[in-house]
A and B are shown apart, each in its own frame.
Chain A
Amino acid sequence: MNESSAGRSGFPPAYLDRVGSSFTDFLATTAPDLLPGRRPIPQLPVGELAPHGTTIVSVTYDGGVLMAGDRRATMGNLISSRDIEKVYPADSYSVIGIAGAAGIAIEMVRLYQVELEHYEKIEGLTMSLDGKANRLAAMIRGNLGAALQGLAVVPLFAGFDLDAAAGAAPGRIFSYDVTGGNYEERGYAAVGSGSLFAKNSLKKTWRHGLSAQAATRTVVEALYDAADDDSATGGPDPVRRLYPIVYRVDAEGAVRLADAEVAAVADAVVAERSAAERDDKQREG
C-alpha cells in the first residue's frame, strides 16, 4: 500500500490512525520501500562504485555553533564532484553535515528534514535538541548492513539548544559512529576522511568563547589543513570560485554564510599561509 492508494475512498486507514508523530515510523507501515534502511543489502562491497563525501567540521562559539564542509566527493581515486553540498539545515535551529556514501547520505538528510518538520506540524512543537540527535541515531543504526558493504554514512549534527540552562553553552555538537552510537562533543568535532587533520588543526586554533568571526576562520582553516594532507578533501578553489559551505546556528536560527563572506575568510587563510612560506624562504635564502 502506498500513497497512490488514496484513491476512491480517500485516506487509507493508516492515515487516520491518530498514533505517532514520527514520519519514519509512518512510512515504515505505509510505504516501507521509501525508507533507506529497508532495502536489500548488497552482497559484495560496493564502496568503490558510489561517490563518497569527505570532511565536515563543527565548532561551538559564544553565540551558538558553526558547521562547515568542503565541496569534494570522491569515487575511488577519482574526484566525482567538486561542488557537492554536504551541510544542510535540518530545521530552523539545527544543521546536519554528512560524510560517507553520498547517495544514501543525501536521502537520509531529506528524510530527516521531513521527520523534524512532520513532528513539528503534528505536535505543534519542535523536538528538543536531544530528541533530534536521537532520531538521527536511529536512522544511522538502520544503515549498518549497508555500511558493512562500504556504504557507511556518518553524520555530524549540531544545533542551538533552546532549552539550554542559563550560563550553559547553547551551541551543541553530536557525532555518530556507523552503529548509530551518538556522542555529544565538547567544543569541536570533525568527521570524514580528512577529519584526523581537521581535528588536529582545531585542537590548536579553537578555544572557549570564540566570536562568530574567529570561529568561522577556525573552521575554514581546519578544512584547509585537511585538504592539505587528505587527497579526498577539497581545498578552496579560487579558479572556479568554490569555497566551503558554512552554516551558522544561533538564537536567530540556522543561516548559510554568503559565498563572498566564506571566500574572504578562505582567501585570508591562503594569503597568510603563503606569506609565512615566503618569509621562511627569505630567512633561508
Chain B
Amino acid sequence: MTMPYYASAEQVMRDRSEYARKGISRGRSVAVVTYADGVLFIAENPSSSLHKVGELYDKIGFAAVGRYSEFESLRVAGVRLADVRGYSYNRRDVTGRVIANAYAQTLGAIFTEQMKPYEVELCVAEVGDTPESDQLYRLTFDGSVVDEPDFVVMGGQADAVTGHLREHFHVGLGLSDALQVGVRALSAVSPVTAGSANGGSAGRLTAAQLEVAVLDRRRPKRAFRRVVGSALRTLLGDEQPAPDDRQGAERAAHAPSVTEPGTPPGLGDPANPDTVGGAEGTDD
C-alpha cells in the first residue's frame, strides 16, 4: 500500500496564498479614492477595451486587479446579481454590501475547494448621498472582505502606493486634486515611468496609460461615468479645456449612454468638464 503524500492544511493554504499573491503583484496597481462628490477609480491600464473598472449598478462600481478572465467573470456575475435583484425587488434594494458578500463567499469557496485560487483582488465601491455614507469594500483572493475608509490600493506594488497616498491624500479633495494625488501615487511605483525618460510629464503616467472612472453622487440615477479623452487630459492638467475636441475620435459609435433616461441634458455645470450631463460629445 502506498502512502499518499501528506501536506498539512496550513501548508496547502500557505502555498495557495503565495501563489495568488504572486500573481496579483505581477500586475499594475489600481487605486480607488474617495473625493468630495463620490468615488474615483484610477487604474494603470494601457488597454482601452479590456477594462479593470466597471459599473455594477446605479451607485455601485467595481475595480479589480489580477487575471483578466477571472475578474471579468466575477464582474459579470456582479452585474447579473445586481440586475436580478433590482428587477425582482426594487432598484433601491441593491446595495454594495450584498454584492460584496456574494464575492466574498464565491472567492472563499474557490480558495478552499479548488486547486488553483483566483488571482484577483476586487474593490466594490458604493456612493451614498453624503461622503460619510460612501463605502469601499476590499475583497481578497481568499474571500476576506474589509470595509476600508478613504481609499483602497490593489495589485502591483500596492504597499508603496498606499504609503504615497497616505502622505498626500486628505478627505474631501475635489475631483481634479484627487485624480492628481492618485496618479502621482501610481506613477511613483510604475515601471512605465521608472526611467522617467518618456515624455515631458516628469515621470507621470499619461492619459493614454490610465483608465479613469467616477461614481458621482450628483448624477441622478446611474452614478458611474468613465472619464476619457480630453476630459481626462484636462483634469490631469495636461491641456487646456478645448470644447471642440470633445467630439470625434473619443466618441465611439456606441458609447455607453451617459444620461439617466429622461433627464434633461446638461445637468452638470457646462463650464466644468467633469460635470457634463447628457450633452452631445459627452466624454464617455
Contacts and interface: CB of A to CB of B under 8 A. Distances in A.
A and B are interacting partners: yes
Given A10-B106, A255-B265, A34 B87 contact: yes
B254 A252 contact: no
A253 B265 contact: yes
A221 interface: no
Interface string B252-284: 111111111111111000000000001110000
A26 B85 CA distance: 13
Q: Is the interface of A mostly helix, strand, loop or mixed?
A: mixed
B86 interface: yes
Contact of B106 (A3, A11, A256): A11
Given A16-B74, A252-B279, A255-B265, A8 B259 contact: no
A168 to B, nearest CB: 14
A254 B262 contact: yes
Interface in A205-234: none
B73 A124 contact: no
Nearest to A128: B254
A92 interface: yes
Contacts of B102: 6, 10-11
Contacts of B104: 10
B84 A92 contact: no
B106 A18 contact: no
A255 B263 contact: yes
A124 B102 CA distance: 23
Contacts of A16: 73-74, 76-77, 106
Interface stretch (A76-84, A112-120, A134-142, A144-152): A112-120
Nearest to B50: A124
Residue among B72, B104, B105, B108 with the most chain A CB within 10 A? B105
A90 B77 CA distance: 23
Interface string B76-98: 11011101111110000000000
Contacts of A17: 73
A121 interface: yes
Contacts of A120: 256-257
B51 interface: yes
B55 interface: yes
Contacts of A254: 259, 261-262
A270 interface: no
Contacts of B280: 251-252
A33 B263 CA distance: 32
Interface in B60-83: 69, 72-74, 76-77, 79-81, 83
Contacts of B79: 118, 121-122
Nearest to B69: A18
A92 B106 CA distance: 34
Nearest to B72: A18
Contacts of A114: 83, 86-87
A31 B54 CA distance: 25
A225 B190 CA distance: 68
Nearest to A18: B73
B51 A92 contact: no
Interface string A100-121: 0000000000110110011011
A111 B83 CA distance: 10
Interface residues of B, number: 48
B109 interface: yes
Contacts of B252: 125
B227 interface: no
A31 B87 CA distance: 11
Interface string B17-36: 00000000000000000000
A248 to B, nearest CB: 10
B103 interface: yes
A34 B88 contact: yes
Interface string B232-257: 00000000000000000000111111
Contact of B259 (A27, A113, A253): A253
A201 interface: no
Interface in B190-226: 222
Most B C-beta atoms less than 10 A away, residue of A27, A247, A254: A254
A122 B76 contact: yes
B106 A124 contact: no
A182 interface: no
B279 A126 contact: no
Given A3-B88, A10-B108, A125 B256 contact: yes
Given A117-B83, A118-B83, A124 B49 contact: yes
Contact of B77 (A9, A15, A92, A121): A15
Nearest to B62: A121
B179 interface: no
Interface in A1-32: 2-3, 6-11, 15-18, 23, 26-27, 30-31
Interface of B: 49, 51, 54-56, 69, 72-74, 76-77, 79-81, 83-88, 101-109, 222, 252-266, 278-280
The 4 lowest CB-CB distance pairs between A and B, nearest first, are A10-B106, A89-B261, A92-B257, A10-B105
25 contacts: A3-B81, A3-B84, A9-B105, A10-B101, A10-B105, A10-B108, A10-B109, A11-B81, A16-B74, A18-B73, A89-B261, A113-B261, A114-B86, A120-B256, A121-B55, A121-B256, A122-B79, A126-B257, A251-B280, A252-B259, A252-B265, A252-B279, A253-B261, A254-B262, A255-B262
